[in-house]
Structure 1
Amino acid sequence: MGRTLAGVWAHPDDECYAMFGSVVRHSTDPRFRLVVLHATDGDAGEIAPGVPATREGLGAWRRAEDVAAWRALGTEPERHVWLGHGDGRLVEVGAGLVDEVADFLRAERPDVVLTFGPDGVTGHPDHVSIGAATAAAFQRVRTEVAAGGGRARDDGLQRLLFGCIPRRAWLIAQRHRVMAGLGAWDPSEVYHLRGVPDEDVGVVVRHREGLERMLAAHKEHASQRHVMFDPGGSDERWMKALSLETWVVAWPPREPGAPVLTDVFEGLD
């Protein structure tokens, strides 16, 4: 069976916490193939102090950071699609975004697709939009495969996963954040992290290898370091955060009480 992994994201750096660990884990498997789509260049993002990017050139700057991050990780996407939509404006693209993601999935037929769920992890409208578009595109292409007499098991699109933060982990991080004087997250506010019920988490991957590379890849996104890293956090703390990867299984439907998977590809052979 194949091992094609697709990440479909809104902005450069969205994939950092979500999928770097799984990429490292499978990078030496000769069957493994990585494809990535970004809907925007992140051109409306903030610019961290000391980074010589300009407002006009931020999109190109962040693209370059993303390429450098994959190189630092040691595995670059075989295909990397940039749709070039306006940062913060994905909702305006409407049904066209579903069409574009469907074109990508139709061409690549990834076995596992990673994206955002309805909460967008941070509530960012772009995160929510790309997640919804990907879910719709995934089901559209699966339907096409079935109508053509193919089987998803042979033609990819076996699993759709939404990145998430388990509620228990969110509460622990919230306590540490308050104790550090950083202020509490408010899940009703955009850009504040959200947690999902622990019982909704269907994949929990624990990483022990490649954490240094994962951290180095994160640091390539220097223009966003002020939003990616809390002030005063040590490298050891951030590598500990990177060692855990969690997902909601959006497809196939997960039975209540089903065992939690320990790898994004588990059970697909």
Structure 2
Amino acid sequence: MVGAPRTEGLSLAVVVAHPDDDAYGMAGMVALHADDPGFRFTLIHATDGGAGDIREGFPATRETLGRIRQQEDEDGWRALGREPDRHEWLGYRDGEVDQVPFDELVDVVAAILEEEQPTVVGTFGPDGIFAHPDHITIGAATDAAFARHASTAGTAFRRLLHSAIPQSVFERWQQQRAEKGMWQFDPTQVYHMRGVPDAEIGLVVDTSSVAHRTVAGLMEHKSQHHVMFDYPVDAERWQRIMRRDWASVAWPERAPGSPVLTDPFEGLP
């Protein structure tokens, strides 16, 4: 855990839309603190991912995919080596989170967060990374839930993070894909990756020491490998990709020129 401060009584809550959303973005941060005494990890999923794509030959049906993906997600955290201390499945329909009354969604997320009193909360920003409506909606609801409790004192609700891809990194990945003759993301389209301006990135975590653990977790999401990976799956390439976690700091507001954080708990008591 080189570069990661020890966490004593600090906690992280991650709120996402689908199984495998949590396997990217902040999984490396969890792996870095996996063995810290007192570290608590709460995970909230809005849906079971039951409307996801089913590739030809995979043993799933529309009726069973959600249960399969839930199990894959739980298996993924075991493979990473740090299961959530609390894992909540909210049970909303995949692809329809934006149709849930917004106040209801906020209330449900806020109730769990109030019970957990997390130090740091992580979710999607308004870009949703892929502009997926479920991502954007659960992110906005989490922001609203966090705002009810945001605090400048104590150890709870001290920082709100939005997972993000820096624009410079996104462009580099696009160039590498072009050089390999691979298809390109179109950031004007829904379900396509996009970056955010580098100046908006307030957290860059070196997760290279635990990238193998993060990739081990990703590999458990077998039903979605055709969506997540370019075939054939290259685990070594993905370990290189997973050497960093990035996020914008949505709260508290960063002053212009503030140094970029290197750990989600940096500077917190």
Q: Which TM-score band applies after superposition, normalised by the shorter structure? A: over 0.9
Question: Is 1:100 the equivalent of 2:108?
Answer: yes
Kept in 2, the 8 Å contact 1:88–1:126? The answer is yes
Equivalent residue number for residue 44 of structure 2: 37
Question: Is 1:129 the equivalent of 2:137?
Answer: yes
Equivalent residue number for residue 237 of structure 2: 237
SS at match of 1:18: coil
1:148-178 deviations in Å (ceiling 9; x for gaps):
xxx5532500000000000000000011122
Distance in 1, matches of 2:240 and 2:132, equals 25
Equivalent residue number for residue 2 of structure 1: 9
Kept in 1, the 8 Å contact 2:208–2:242? The answer is no
Q: Give the one of 64, 71, 80 matched to 1:73.
A: 80
1:213-260 deviations in Å (ceiling 9; x for gaps):
211110100011111112245211100111110000000100111000
Q: State the shift of 1:113 in Å.
A: 0.5
SS at match of 1:27: coil
Could you tell me which amino acid in structure 2 is paired with residue 80 of structure 1?
H
Distance in 2, matches of 1:21 and 1:207, equals 6
Equivalent residue number for residue 18 of structure 1: 25
Distance in 1, matches of 2:74 and 2:57, equals 21
Q: State the shift of 1:211 in Å.
A: 2.1
Question: Is 1:118 the equivalent of 2:102?
Answer: no
Distance in 1, matches of 2:209 and 2:91, equals 34
Question: Is 1:27 the equivalent of 2:28?
Answer: no
1:47-85 deviations in Å (ceiling 9; x for gaps):
234421111111111000001001101111111000000
Q: State the shift of 1:26 in Å.
A: 0.6
Distance in 1, matches of 2:213 and 2:200, equals 30
Distance in 1, matches of 2:155 and 2:242, equals 31
Kept in 1, the 8 Å contact 2:45–2:89? The answer is yes
Kept in 2, the 8 Å contact 1:51–1:222? The answer is no
Distance in 2, matches of 1:234 and 1:155, equals 40
Equivalent residue number for residue 145 of structure 1: none
Residue correspondence of structure 1 range 78-97 to structure 2 within 5 A: 78-93=85-100, 94-97=102-105
Quote the sequence identity (%): 51
Distance in 2, matches of 1:178 and 1:243, equals 21
RMSD of aligned Cα (Å): 1.3
Kept in 2, the 8 Å contact 1:112–1:264? The answer is yes
Residue correspondence of structure 1 range 142-221 to structure 2 within 5 A: 142=150, 152-221=152-221
Distance in 2, matches of 1:2 and 1:255, equals 27
Could you tell me which amino acid in structure 2 is paired with residue 6 of structure 1?
A
Kept in 1, the 8 Å contact 2:208–2:244? The answer is no
Kept in 1, the 8 Å contact 2:155–2:268? The answer is no
Kept in 2, the 8 Å contact 1:48–1:222? The answer is no
Q: State the shift of 1:99 in Å.
A: 0.7
Kept in 2, the 8 Å contact 1:48–1:225? The answer is no
Q: Once structures 1 and 2 are overlaid, which stretch shifts more, 230-239 or 62-71?
A: 230-239
Task: Compute the TM-score of the two structures, normalised by the length of structure 2.
Answer: 0.94
The gaps in structure 1 that reach 5 residues or longer are 143-150
SS at match of 1:210: helix
The gaps in structure 2 that reach 5 residues or longer are 1-7
Kept in 2, the 8 Å contact 1:69–1:218? The answer is yes
Question: Is 1:60 the equivalent of 2:67?
Answer: yes
SS at match of 2:66: helix
Kept in 1, the 8 Å contact 2:120–2:264? The answer is yes
Could you tell me which amino acid in structure 2 is paired with residue 135 of structure 1?
D
Q: State the shift of 1:137 in Å.
A: 0.5
Q: State the shift of 1:208 in Å.
A: 2.6
More helix by share: 1
